[in-house]
Structure 1
Amino acid sequence: MTLAKSVLAVNDDLPIKTDLPVHSGKVRSVYWLTEQDSRRLIEQKGYDVDPSTPLAIMVISDRISAFDCVWHGEDGLNGVPGKGAALNAVSNHWFKCFKEQGLADSHILDIPHPFVWIVQKARPVMIEAIARQYITGSMWRSYANGEREFCGIELPEGLSKDQKLPEILITPSTKGVLKGIPNVPEADDANIRNADILAHFDKFNFLSKSDVSLYQQLLKDGFNLISKELEKIDQIFVDTKFEFGYVKDAAGQNKLIYMDEVGTPDSSRIWDGTEYRKGNVVENSKEGFRQLLLNRFDDPDILLNKNRMPERFALAKNNALPLEIMMQVSETYRGIAEKITGQKIHLSDDPKQEIIDILNEQYQLIK
């Protein structure tokens, strides 16, 4: 097995039966199934969803993005070995815990392969909610520059970098550009206040005002569950992003669910507990890769300054990262996934062919 072949870098060219264009993001690609195949799978597999629900195959890749760019390594290594399987394994673990503890379901209906989810179409709540237990990153930079109010919440004076906050802080932002909502900037990822979410709940795609309270409860309960579980392996859950949406169950009832990914090294900061108590921050998340990039290039402002995006894209395109950096990132992702799940992350000999074989033999979804 060559290392490059064990990496799934391109995930939007699988021969999956679909009538729609493949939607490909920085890491995942989504293949919407035909209505016929969606209905067939719901019936055959007994999924607890409304029979008319559209289903999709979601395929993760091993690509790694940071600072809005996708990065690559030497020797044709266009991703990080084991990263995709590690991300999915961590999300699967937390989604399962949430369901077992009675919090809420997720959009995932089936897991045919470590790289693949079968998901149900959800109506997304147009909010990305960041839950924070420590002051670090962009929040610390704003605080150090004199800001004290974050999403309508006032922080006390005298906090220091990487300090634990007095309580978990929820800092929501817009998911996409929302128009015509008072006090809400018409921009993607604009900070919003809880009072404005409550006042205009329907504009954010909530079905009722009471669901705003449910969303806040699921946010805090989900964060606390992951935080307590990570404490058992001496890891600190620093902050994370949550997304929510609505689906219909087999009885046609709407329910609010967790969606996207949860508690992963891509969507969260996770610190090593032993090192933190010594006064050091050791990242077990993508933040470590970002720091590697900032330290690697002579002019880190290119990575931080959004007015220099053409230079940034050129930097990512023209710089193959050394193999040791890619493998260091691989060890971070696989290491934290194995600690969380208690299961080994195996590298596939040929992940793309494995996916095709399983989706063909067990689901009849290959052209």
Structure 2
Amino acid sequence: MKALTHTDFNFPGQKSVYHGKVRDVYNINDELMVMVATDRISAFDVILPKGIPFKGQVLNQIAATFLDATSDIVPNWKLATPDPMVTVGLKCEGFRVEMIIRGYLTGSAWREYQNGCRELCGVKLPEGMKENQKFPTPIITPTTKADAGHDENISKEEIIAQGLVSKEDYELMEKYTYALFARGTEMAAEKGLILVDTKYEFGKKDGKVYLIDEIHTPDSSRYFYADGYQEKFEKGEPQKQLSKEFVRQWLIDHNFMGKEGQQVPEMTDEYVNSVSDRYIELYEHIVGQKFNKADNHDDLAARIEKNVTEYLNQK
């Protein structure tokens, strides 16, 4: 099985390209974005040395499903998916803030809580909470969007005071974030899953706020299985989850947290394939359909180039 870890396309009308941690984004005439979901995988803000076969297809197709399923809540950037690993959409000016919303105390928030933190991004946290406990109501804990390195926690008040986002736009993003999370929670519950936390990114085009990037994928979200949640919570046992947290946990178990001087553990073919299987499992659970693997035995880049070029030439 092949994995796509690098792209270097030259599409019709291409003006520039941005290589992110996982996605490569091509600017077409300052009007469209071609977003290629590669098979790269990152954790602790580090791109791991091996790609995960079918991961890009999984992420792209989950995101497309949820963008379509939430377009009645908020306008979004998506126009088409001309290839299993590609979404083409409107080019928006992205806000330099990520809207993270949490329904449960887990992950980095729990790690901070354990260290005595009782306020996260300006939000007061109740005393006496346990790991994986549900918040009385979901909380929004935004971060600044870093070009490189770590994203930083920030409060609503700081975002507005620093002029990162206007008060009006921020409050609209906040409203959209709660509504998207409520829809994602409903859709997850229908499949026997709990949407634990997630992040949304927004941008602006012609004065209008749009939802951009991916939503409700295992790279941007954490899911627990609903079955057994309460029993595991009461016993203080780890939850069975579908998210990238299992990769982070594997790295932590091998003494890697992205800190200086730490070595990424060896990713054997067996481990890589197990991660691929977990991504496919999430797709099938959250979308509720069998995952159809796109042909990846030939040149993945050539397939993408052909499909995207054909789409752009029809525009």
Normalised by the size of structure 2, how large is the TM-score?
Answer: 0.89
Residue type of the alignment partner of 2:303: E
Counterpart for residue 233 of structure 1: 191
The 1:82/1:164 distance shift into structure 2, 3 A limit, reads same
Q: Does 1:354 align with 2:303?
A: yes
The 1:58/1:278 distance shift into structure 2, 3 A limit, reads same
Paired residues of 1:241 and 1:268 also in contact (CA < 8 A):
yes
Give unpaired runs (5+ residues) of structure 2: 233-237
Name the CA distance, whole Å, in 2 between partners of 1:195 and 1:353: 47
User: Which structure's residues are more often helix, by fraction?
Assistant: 1
The 1:70/1:354 distance shift into structure 2, 3 A limit, reads same
Name the CA distance, whole Å, in 1 between partners of 2:245 and 2:11: 34
Aligned-pair distance for 1:284? 0.7
Residue type of the alignment partner of 2:22: V
Paired residues of 2:78 and 2:90 also in contact (CA < 8 A):
yes
Q: Does 1:26 align with 2:3?
A: no
Paired residues of 1:85 and 1:345 also in contact (CA < 8 A):
no
Aligned-pair distance for 1:18? 4.9
Counterpart for residue 5 of structure 2: 9
Counterpart for residue 41 of structure 2: 64
1:292-331 to 2 correspondence within 5 Å? 292-295=250-253, 297=254, 300=255, 303-304=256-257, 306=259, 308=260, 311-312=261-262, 315-316=263-264, 319-331=265-277
Paired residues of 2:12 and 2:309 also in contact (CA < 8 A):
no
Counterpart for residue 67 of structure 2: 95
Residue type of the alignment partner of 1:168: P
Counterpart for residue 164 of structure 1: 134
Name the CA distance, whole Å, in 2 between partners of 1:176 and 1:63: 19
User: Which structure's residues are more often strand, by fraction?
Assistant: 2
1:238-253 to 2 correspondence within 5 Å? 238-248=196-206
Q: Does 1:259 align with 2:212?
A: yes
The 1:117/1:239 distance shift into structure 2, 3 A limit, reads same
Aligned length: 305
CA RMSD across the alignment = 2.2
Tell me which of 95, 102, 119 is aligned to 1:125: 95
Query: Partner of 2:151: helix, strand, or coil?
Result: coil
Counterpart for residue 292 of structure 2: 345
The 1:159/1:24 distance shift into structure 2, 3 A limit, reads same
**TM-superposition CA deviations, 1:180-231 (whole Å, max 9, x none):** xxxxxxx96332222344555xx1243xx33322211100000111011101
Counterpart for residue 52 of structure 2: 80
Paired residues of 1:129 and 1:170 also in contact (CA < 8 A):
yes
Aligned-pair distance for 1:240? 0.8
Aligned-pair distance for 1:88? 0.8
Q: For the pair shown, which has the larger CA radius of gyration, 1 or 2? A: 1
Name the CA distance, whole Å, in 2 between partners of 1:227 and 1:287: 19
The 1:82/1:216 distance shift into structure 2, 3 A limit, reads same
Counterpart for residue 280 of structure 2: 334
Name the CA distance, whole Å, in 2 between partners of 1:28 and 1:320: 23
The 1:231/1:291 distance shift into structure 2, 3 A limit, reads same
**TM-superposition CA deviations, 1:6-28 (whole Å, max 9, x none):** x22222x2242355442111111
**TM-superposition CA deviations, 1:220-279 (whole Å, max 9, x none):** 00011101110111111111111111113xxxxx21111121111001111122242331
Calculate percent identity across the aligned residue pairs.
34
Paired residues of 2:251 and 2:257 also in contact (CA < 8 A):
no
Name the CA distance, whole Å, in 2 between partners of 1:266 and 1:219: 17
Give unpaired runs (5+ residues) of structure 1: 36-52, 73-77, 178-186, 249-253
1:278-293 to 2 correspondence within 5 Å? 278-279=231-232, 280-293=238-251
The 1:159/1:323 distance shift into structure 2, 3 A limit, reads same
Paired residues of 1:129 and 1:242 also in contact (CA < 8 A):
yes
Normalised by the size of structure 1, how large is the TM-score?
Answer: 0.77
Paired residues of 2:103 and 2:135 also in contact (CA < 8 A):
yes
Aligned-pair distance for 1:360? 3.4
Query: Partner of 1:165: helix, strand, or coil?
Result: strand
Paired residues of 2:12 and 2:312 also in contact (CA < 8 A):
no
Name the CA distance, whole Å, in 2 between partners of 1:198 and 1:176: 17
Query: Partner of 2:241: helix, strand, or coil?
Result: coil
Query: Partner of 1:284: helix, strand, or coil?
Result: strand
Name the CA distance, whole Å, in 2 between partners of 1:8 and 1:196: 39
Residue type of the alignment partner of 2:105: I
